[in-house]
Amino acid sequence: MTKQARIIGAPTDYGANRRGVDMGPSAIRYAGLADQLEDAGVSCTDVGDVTAPPAETQDADKRVPEEGNAKFVEEIEAVSHELAEEVEATIAGGATPLVVGGDHSVAIGSLRGAAADADIGTVWFDAHADLNAPSTSPSGNVHGMPLAAALGHRDFAGVDWATAPRLNPENVVWVGLRSVDDQEAADVRDSAGTAFTMSDIDEHGIDEITERAMAIASDGVDGVHVSLDLDWLDPNEAPGVGTPVRGGVTYREAHRAMEIVAEHDREHDSLRSMEAVEVNPILDEHNETAHLATELAASALGKRILGRE
Ligand SMILES: NC(=[NH2+])NCCC[C@H](N)C(=O)O
Ligand SMILES: [Mn+2]
Ligand SMILES: [Mn+2]
């Protein structure tokens, strides 16, 4: 059966400290996302963007953390609500949501939508663990917190929009970590999830690590949300991101990992939803990071060098 994808834009930069990532969805569309997906044999529709007024038009005070050390919480709440509904409706209609960000706080909405009607796991392809909470975050930027929110960290207690109750902590897998804050590292170690760092990729290779990640994330649940933060790649390949960290995966490793996601999905019907986030066109060079995001999404959804098998 032909895979159906629905592109959902989430043009926010509320979760990041560098403005401009809200233009990510435009840049990714301009880079030819829909065409890439059609090439992958995926039939795709673009539903446009969720509502997200630019941060510049918001009260400047909100850029400074008030209580709880998390910036723009109300704005992120509104985006998360709307996005969760889009993602949920997309899955209910039999298609695969492809959320394009936007900073990584959009994952709060994606995860909640993907977990609305099912038990899920997630594979988090990222330099960062994004497991900070308001009380532990060194920055107050919510793009460093989506996993803590989705897993129901006590700092988010009572914040109805944040938690994805059916995201199973044992099915959370990080791939490619190389920049983790001190308290966050302790929280990753104490979590029920599995963390594969860049060192693990060096030691075992991207194939083995991605295969293990998909196996763990999908074990005993209904599907996997694949979260691709473009800063997972080395900044030489993906310069257009707000929090670049040296020593990331190469272009080929990234494609290989996404191909393994697609292979796993073909065999196990495991890919429930996906997002590509943190593309910041202001920091990019000739839109190459946006273009990379389109290529990697296409690989994850089944594109092969010599066409479909
Ligand atoms: N999705 C991202 N790019 N996250 C970066 C987070 C950086 C840092 N750990 C923080 O919490 O502020
Ligand atoms: Mn990151
Ligand atoms: Mn991230």
Segment 201-250, tens digit of pLDDT: 999 999 999 999 999 999 999 999 999 999 999 999 999 999 999 999 99
Output the pLDDT for position 44. Answer: 95
Within 6 A (CB) of ligand 1 lie 104, 128, 130, 132, 137-139, 141, 143-144, 181, 229, 231, 243, 278
pLDDT-based confidence at 60, cuts 50/70/90?
A: low
Q: Which of residues 211 and 159 earns the better pLDDT score?
A: 211
Specify the higher pLDDT residue, 54 or 199. Answer: 199
Cis status of the peptide bond prior to 102, with omega within 30 of 0: yes
Share the mean pLDDT of the chain: 94
Residue nearest atom 4 of ligand 1, based on CA coordinates: 144
Q: Which atom of ligand 1 is nearest to the CA of 145?
A: 11
Of the listed ranges 62-71, 106-115, 123-132, 236-245, the least confidently predicted one is 62-71
Give the three-state DSSP class for 235: coil
Share of the chain above pLDDT 70, in %: 96
Mean pLDDT within 196-201: 98
202 in catalytic set: no
Q: What is the pLDDT of residues 274-293, one digit of tens each?
A: 999 999 999 999 999 999 99
Q: What is the pLDDT of residue 1?
A: 67
Going along 95-185, which residue ranges are E strands? 96-101, 120-125, 167-177
For the purposes of burial, counting CB atoms within 10 Å of the CB of 156, is it exposed (0-12), middle (13-18) or buried (19 or more)?
Answer: buried
Nearest CA to ligand 1 atom 7: 144
Taking alpha carbons only, the member of 42, 16, 6 closest to residue 279 is: 16
Q: Is the pLDDT of residue 294 over 90?
A: yes
Look at residues 285, 271, 188 and name the one whose alpha carbon lies nearest to residue 228: 271
For domain 3-300, give the fold. Answer: Arginase; Chain A (3.40.800)
Top pLDDT among 108 and 18 is at 108
pLDDT score recorded for residue 151:
97
Residues 42-54, mean pLDDT to the nearest whole number: 94
| Residues of each annotated binding site for Mn(2+) | 104, 126, 128, 130, 229, 231
The rounded percent of the chain whose pLDDT value lies above 90 is 86
For residue 126, indicate whether it is catalytic: yes
pLDDT mean over 124-139: 97
Q: Who contacts 158 (Cβ-Cβ below 8 Å, separation ≥6)? A: none
The answer to whether residue 63 scores a pLDDT higher than 60 is no
Minimal-distance CA residue to ligand 1 atom 8: 144
Amino acid at 194: T
Per-residue confidence (pLDDT) for residue 307, from 0 to 100: 81
Q: CA–CA separation, 105 vs 247, rounded Å?
A: 23
Confirm if 24 and 278 have CB atoms less than 8 A apart.
Answer: yes
**Sign of the dihedral defined by the CA atoms of residues 55, 57, 63, 65, in that order:** negative
Show the CA angle centred on residue 216, arms to residues 115 and 305, nearest 5°. Answer: 90
Confidence (pLDDT) at 4: 96
Instruction: Determine how β-strand 271-277 pairs with β-strand 167-177.
Output: unpaired
Q: Which residue has the higher pLDDT, 54 or 302?
A: 302
Does pLDDT of 58 surpass 90? no
Ligand 1, atom 3, lies closest to the CA of: 243
In the annotation, is 278 catalytic?
A: yes
Whole-Å CA distances, 189 to 109, 184, 195: 25, 9, 8
Name which residue leads in pLDDT, 216 or 157.
Answer: 216
End-to-end distance of the chain based on CA atoms, in angstroms?
13
55: helix, strand or coil: helix
- Mean pLDDT computed over 21-31: 98
pLDDT confidence tier of residue 67, bands split at 50, 70 and 90: low
Structure-token match 């394009």, residue found: 100
Query: Phi first, then psi: what are they for 234, rounded to 5°?
Result: -65, 140
Has residue 57 got a pLDDT over 90?
A: no
Q: Candidates 108, 130, 182, 188: which one to mutate for ligand 1, based on the most atoms within 8 Å of Cβ?
A: 130
pLDDT, position 26: 98
Residue 293's pLDDT is what?
98
Report the sign of the C-alpha dihedral through residues 220, 175, 73, 25, in that order.
Answer: negative
List residues, by chain if needed, whose CB lies under 5 Å from ion ligand 2.
126-128, 229, 231
Active site residue 291: no
307 vs 259: CA distance, rounded Å? 12
Inform me whether the pLDDT recorded for 126 exceeds 90: yes
Say which residue the tokens 């060192």 belong to. 199
Q: Which amino acid is at 286?
A: H
Spot the catalytic one: 104, 153, 264, 291: 104
Greater model confidence, 72 or 270: 270
